[in-house]
Amino acid sequence: MGWAHAQLCQYGPALAHCGEALALLRPTGDRHGEANTWDSLGFIHAQLGEHREAIRCYGRALRLYRRISDRYDEADTLPRLGVRRHASGDPAGAVRTWRRALGILDDLGHPDSERIRDLLTRAESPDAGAAGDAGHTGGG
């Protein structure tokens, strides 16, 4: 429900539903669902312009993805984290984050690696400007 509300730009209900989802997921041990919900919270905070909170949420999602060895979802979240780092004034951190995503996607042979190469090319150009929200698959 949280992700559905976020897609409708209804961020208050989206935050509330994601909070409820976390409370329900934690005791079940569903780390993947919990990680997806943190990722959705990162997206919601990003849409609200709350870069630091988005970065924190994406970080929580990434720790859980790593814990369960979900490399694809880790690589899927890293670009959004990079965009938020760039928006918060940390272009070097954004580039490091996008390189991590690219490494995973290249290891997986995933076609999304081209999208990340584009982000890196733009970030490393003299008139660097980062992309929008770098995609999101939803959760929570």
Residue 83 placed within a domain: yes
Q: Is residue 108 part of a domain?
A: yes
pLDDT computed for residue 78 by the predictor: 97
- pLDDT < 50 stretches in the chain: 130
Domain, as residue range, for 74: 2-124
- Residue 48 covered by a domain: yes
Q: Which single residue is written with the structure tokens 């984290």?
A: 81
> How many domains does the chain fold into?
1
Domain-located, residue 40:
yes
The total number of residues written for the chain in this structure? 140
Question: What does pTM read for this prediction?
Answer: 0.86
Q: Domain holding 49: CATH number?
A: 1.25.40.10
Mapping DSSP onto H, E and C, the string for the chain reads: CHHHHHHCCCHHHHHHHHHHHHHHHHHHCCHHHHHHHHHHHHHHHHHCCCHHHHHHHHHHHHHHHHHCCCHHHHHHHHHHHHHHHHHCCCHHHHHHHHHHHHHHHHHHCCCCHHHHHHHHHHHHCCCCCCCCCCCCCCCC
- In a domain? residue 39: yes
Query: pLDDT by residue (tens digit) across 23-51?
Result: 999 999 999 999 999 999 999 999 999 99
CA dihedral 55, 56, 61, 64 (to 10 degrees): 140
Question: Is 138 part of a structural domain of the chain?
Answer: no
pLDDT the model gives residue 125: 81
Q: Give a yes or no: residue 130 inside a domain.
A: no
